[in-house]
Chains A and B, each alone.
Chain A
């Protein structure tokens, strides 16, 4: 469907990832916060006005789309980009009783702000879109990229996913019961048997095109669905595997997030794998957020490229040491599910 050629990621962990669980970054105040670089490519005057999601999104993309490597269009998935600015502006409205307000936060509050800023900074006048469909925002961006490449097979596109934990979003999601009540280390995440996940954030960007030569990996298939029915998801995944790669999956990248409410979906997915497939997890590294599957895809690319899996990611390590076909299964809140098949086959 499409080929991934370049990747970049900002997450709560250092890249490349260490093998040793003792060296990973832990949550601060129950949140796994992204480690930000110095963002040298963003003009300081613009950087100062950017919220964290915008900085992370723009800062992850710019190293991939410098002037020597322009892309034909920009396709971003972000559930909550601009939300922090949005609530800041809303605070102004209420606190100043609709008085004279400054528009800065308002302009940066629109969901399309990252793709817009990227278009502006990289002078890209091509296709420019933002998918915001919560836990499938990145997946819809990926489907969009596949379709853009079908229409323009000689071009490259920037594809990415990004979200932040803003204070207000954290508050509202806490009210919704999304997060673990108890203090927990990410090193112990999968031992937890309680409801709730560990909130995280990050950005992953990819340059994709239809050119197999020198590609890091191919995305062979994607399927999304909305349901809370555990059996239906299993059935759909079974059909997906049958249609695409029944016995060849070498590795499952599981979106398991330590939330006992979503665990059955993931154990079901594991039960459909061939016996010699390995299983790895990544939410103890980046935490849970709506576009975390973009980080999952980034890990898939790292594994494909290096043919190595950091030891601290394994849930089950098989004797296989060659990773040619990777299944990424993720769900958001046990309702929005995606299956993505990543392959080294050209």
Chain B
């Protein structure tokens, strides 16, 4: 089977509009999660912290020179990140439009960031808004397909908060099974009244900045952003710059509850174990875990227990949810980029706002930026519906 190399990365989040800006902010321990929300009117604006990308949709449209009607913020964030990844990888237009180039994108809100518009369109029999074809999640990738004039396999995946980790996996599998030569993979999601109220109804939104893996954690912060990666096969590289190798991946289900993980953490345990097996690595080879670490009571406890169960003494780990919030369908892809930065610069970034370890586990995440040898990084993503995915990125 072909080795899968990452030859391009692009990201936009609450802490930066580019890979370089995100990298600097991670090093500096910047928190982009603030009690500010001006994308749409909401009673939670100013009350709850959000990881908002501080650029309006109008400005994004202008910057990206997108003039079509009906393009949602979710798609705009995706185009912003995808442009970077493509430029970064140096793929030619011919490469991008080739039938051998796949596009696999994930998102969970699609055009539902326009909660009020959807409400109106779902209830009118008269004339709809410009967004009537843009609400579902697939509309994002249908737009991207048209925008970049792509001709390969196009897909949209939704496994809730692990969606874009699965998009990365699916792209890699297409390449290893001869369905594609290269794949552009990633995820995007924008803040939405819909998800804010949904997570709030579940009582898992933190009133203050989230504190992943802290004993006193009070829940998650929602964020937004997008990240895309260009995957190419080893045999097609021709001396171009390679950021990292995707060596392991695994998708499992916890099969316990629609919106929480089991105490045993079988799903997380099996996804981490499966990724190691595919990468043919022993547990002691993982230098760092980019944890899912949402800062909910349930996730951080179960993820910690599963790490202990698999690794006995888990390696260095941290969550970046304190920097950017939980970006849902974009999280797996954004954190893949962050994992690759750790490999590239041989460093790990601080898990923000941590004070005390969870009593039951005694585990403390990385608390300050530091240089260290990093050869293999595991990145975890877990979601509603019991969906668990782990990826392993390795240094080239």
Contact = CB atoms under 8 A, between A and B. Distances in A.
A101 B197 contact: yes
Interface in B248-269: 251-259, 266-267
Contacts of A108: 258
A146 B174 CA distance: 10
Given A116-B386, A130-B158, A172 B121 contact: yes
A112 B44 contact: no
Contacts of B139: 134
Contacts of A119: 253-255, 385-386
A140 interface: yes
Given A90-B119, A93-B193, A129-B166, A136 B136 contact: no
Interface core residue of A93, A112, A151, A171 (most chain B CB under 10 Å)? A112
Interface stretch (A23-31, A79-87, A268-276): A79-87
A79 B136 contact: yes
A107 B254 contact: no
Contacts of B145: 226
A174 B124 CA distance: 10
Interface stretch (B86-94, B125-133, B317-325, B371-379): B125-133
Given A94-B116, A116-B258, A131-B155, A125 B121 contact: no
A248 interface: no
Interface core residue of A80, A93, A100 (most chain B CB under 10 Å)? A93
A93 B386 contact: no
Given A116-B386, A128-B387, A175 B159 contact: no
A6 B121 CA distance: 40
Interface of A: 74, 79-80, 83, 86-87, 89-94, 97-98, 100-103, 106-113, 115-117, 119-120, 122-134, 136-137, 140, 143-144, 146-147, 150-151, 168, 171-172, 174-176, 224-227, 335
A116 B177 contact: no
Given A122-B255, A140-B153, A225-B151, 15 more contacts: A89-B194, A90-B119, A93-B194, A98-B193, A102-B201, A103-B202, A103-B259, A116-B160, A120-B255, A128-B385, A129-B170, A131-B157, A132-B157, A133-B157, A175-B124
Contact of A146 (B137, B150, B170, B177): B177
Interface of B: 42-44, 108, 112, 115-116, 118-119, 121-125, 127-128, 132-133, 135-139, 141-142, 145-146, 150-151, 153-160, 166, 170, 173-174, 176-177, 179, 193-194, 197-202, 251-259, 266-267, 270, 383-387
B267 A125 contact: yes
Contacts of B124: 171, 175
A150 B174 CA distance: 11
A140 B387 CA distance: 18
A144 B174 CA distance: 8
A278 to B, nearest CB: 30
Contacts of B142: 134, 226, 335
A126 B253 contact: yes
A67 to B, nearest CB: 13
Nearest to B131: A172
A115 B385 contact: yes
B179 A133 contact: no
Given A107-B259, A132-B138, A133-B156, A125 B202 contact: no
Contacts of B254: 119, 125
Contact of B135 (A100, A102, A172): A172
B363 to A, nearest CB: 24
Nearest to B258: A107
A116 B170 contact: no
B266 A125 contact: yes
Nearest to B41: A98
B163 to A, nearest CB: 8
B194 A97 contact: no
Contacts of A172: 121-122, 128, 132, 135
Contact of B153 (A98, A125, A137, A224): A224
Interface core residue of A107, A124, A146 (most chain B CB under 10 Å)? A107
A225 B153 CA distance: 7
A92 B196 CA distance: 13
B138 A134 contact: yes
Contacts of A79: 136, 138
Contact of B157 (A97, A124, A130, A174): A130
